[in-house]
Amino acid sequence: MNFPTPAIVSQAAVRPLPRALLLLLCLAYVVPGFIARAPWKTLDITSYGYALALAEGRTPWLAPEILGLSPDTEGLIPYWLGAWAIQAFGDFISPELASRLPFAALLWLALMATWYAVYYLARSPGAGPVAFAFGGEANEIDYARAMADGGLLALIACLGLAQPSHEASSYVVQLSGVCFVFYAAACIPIRFGTPLCIGAVGLVMLALSGAPTYAVCLGLGVALILALTPVDAKLRARSLQAAGVFAILGVAALLLAVYLHQWQWRILPAEHFRQLRPLFELVVWYVWPAWPLALWSLWIWRRQVADWRFVHRHLWLPILLGALALVNTVITTPSDRALLLGLPAFAALAAFALPTFRRAMAALIDWFTLLFFSAAAITIWVIWLAVYTGTPAKPAANVARIAPDFVAQFSLPQFVIAVLATLAWCALAFWRARRNRPEIWRSLVLPAGGTVLSWILLMSIWMPMLDYGRSYTAQVQALGKVLPAPASAGCVAAWGLSRSQIVAMQAQGGWQLKTLTDPTSASCNWLAMPLESQRTPSNEVLGPEWTRLAAVARPTDKNAEIVIYRRQPG
């Protein structure tokens, strides 16, 4: 039985969000975090190190290494993208910024793909609004656009998206790949050729960025949904063809990963699966505010979900993507990065809750969001003020304890950006509170705007503190006071350093590192190694000719000290 849709929407409720404002919101979300900062530990700086090594021709493209160490995360595409960007733009901008440009573009494309995916899902059979007896119901195209606006706002509003999506890592590539497949599956059979190509690109991106098993599961799942979704007889053959292509593409992506030695067993033993309570706590904050809306959507559309005779693609496609992400979160690590791949699906489900909202529920969301993000913005400003003026004293003391020796330097551009973002938030809150808005996306304007505000504040006035705490810049500068300049130091032997420490010394410090076991390291007069006793080499490796000079710590991580030795002549 084909149950009537619960979406009762008038034409007045589907006025689209102004395109210029939507694009500006996306731009304000994507750009901060990719510019005006040093590479952060650990994924960010290691990705940059491997990309730089590839761009300079110091390592093979199919098996990148740094001092004999392979990447600790699977996948080749992230390093290839960074290397190609360095080769293309490294002469005009810093290599660090150039290596991050492809990931900023991928995040932008992921947002676009999610918008179009929700747009086409809203046009699928059974997803549209109820037809009124005397007319006045929402037009199909306008309804789909308004729903897509809501889905994009829900994705931007997710708290867990901000930080991992602004890293130069394989997880950004995986997120974009999922969004590409999501878009492709959503618009078939309305469109055919281009979506299939984009879906194929998405599956290859997943397979070559450390998620080949996820790619084959996603490809087969999408194929099943396309095969079971009822469409017009004229489009039935096209839908079945697409289902077969997706099944083949999923398996082909896995085989490609196996051929390139990119398929590795990452599923944890059963006793190490993430327990229910930690998983619940992660989902609650990571997927906020999309998860309560997604649950409401599943409840209000429950008859359509349970209707086994009519597979509603606008519900079952997001359910598939969300379920895959949740299972992946339980059985693999890191769990928060696994959950990242489900955010577009949860945002799509949240969008389909919007047409069913009552005024009281929308008002509750608005007031909670207004209070939460206003308090967050005030907290960020107060701590910034304390760092630069010493008042209030307690926040200033807390920052001094967490980031010792940090010297605050006022930046007028960062201050102006933060002030403009805060004023924009005040204007948005005034616009929303001025009168009741009929648009169905109105309930997600404040959550998305509040998330963007907080992100801009963190990436502007807090950027010096975050850079000091999360990058290796301070430690590299301290090493420069112990080691000679790279031009006069010659080579520096290294033993037991992590990948990120190696990259920091090579790429940021400029020193030429060689492994201690390399015969050519005999000409090195300097040695760098970690402080941990369990990684200290034996006397047979570290001979008596080495004299300890200093232990240089990262100010915010005392366990990441690098000990410098000097070889005594004779």
Task: Determine whether domain 474-567 maps to CATH 3.40.190.
Answer: yes
Angle at alpha carbon of residue 164, lines to 162 and 165, rounded to 5°: 65
- CA proximity to 130, closest of 229, 28, 19, 5: 5
Tens digit of pLDDT for each residue in 61-110? 999 999 989 888 778 999 999 999 999 999 999 999 999 999 999 999 99
Q: How confident is the model at residue 311 (pLDDT cuts 50, 70, 90)?
A: confident
Length of the chain: 570
Can the peptide bond before residue 42 be classed as cis, meaning omega within 30 degrees of 0?
yes
Q: How confident is the model at residue 540 (pLDDT cuts 50, 70, 90)?
A: low
Domain boundaries, the chain: 19-356, 359-471, 474-567
Bridge partners (DSSP) listed for residue 554: 557
Contacting residues for 243 by C-beta, under 8 A, at least 6 apart: 222, 223, 224, 226, 227
Decide if 213 contacts 254 (C-beta within 8 A).
yes
Bridge partners (DSSP) listed for residue 471: 40
Q: How confident is the model at residue 357 (pLDDT cuts 50, 70, 90)?
A: confident
462: tokens are 């807090």
- CA proximity to 500, closest of 460, 557, 547, 549: 557
Question: Residue 508 has what DSSP assignment?
Answer: I
Q: How confident is the model at residue 244 (pLDDT cuts 50, 70, 90)?
A: very high
Tens digit of pLDDT for each residue in 402-423? 888 898 889 999 999 999 999 9
Tens digit of pLDDT for each residue in 45-74? 999 999 999 999 999 999 999 998 988 877
Bridge partners (DSSP) listed for residue 519: none
Residue type, 325: A
Q: How confident is the model at residue 364 (pLDDT cuts 50, 70, 90)?
A: confident
Q: How confident is the model at residue 478 (pLDDT cuts 50, 70, 90)?
A: very high
Q: What are phi and psi of 363, to 5 degrees?
A: -65, -40
